[in-house]
Amino acid sequence: MPAARYPTDWSRALELLLVDPDRGLNLRNDICYGLIGTPLRHRVALILQAGLYLLSCAHGHRTLAPLTQPLKFQHG
C-alpha cells in the first residue's frame, strides 16, 4: 500500500485490517474466501470506514502522501 501513496498511518491500518493474518484481522481473506460467516458489526464498521477513506482519496477529497523517491520504470 505504500506504493499507492496513502499516508503511512493509513497504509498500516489498512494492511492490519485487511491482509495481515499474523497481527491483524485479515478480513479480506476471511470474508472473500468464506472463512467466516457474517462479520460482526464492529468489523463491518471498520470495513466501511476503510472504504470511505479510500473513496475520499479516489475522489480527491484527501491528499496522497508525497513520493519520497521518484518511481523507477524498467524498459524492455
- CA–chain centroid gap for 38, Å, is 20
pLDDT at residue number 23: 92
Spatial separation of the C-alpha atoms in residues 65 and 31, rounded to whole Å:
29
What 3 state SS string does the chain have? Answer: CHHHCCCHHHHHHHHHHHCCCCCCCCHHHHHHCCCCCCCCHHHHHHHHHHHHHHHHHHCCCCCCCCCCCCCCCCCC
pLDDT tens, residue by residue, 63-74: 666 656 555 555
pLDDT tens, residue by residue, 11-54: 888 899 999 989 999 998 888 888 888 889 999 999 999 999 88
pTM above 0.75, yes or no: no
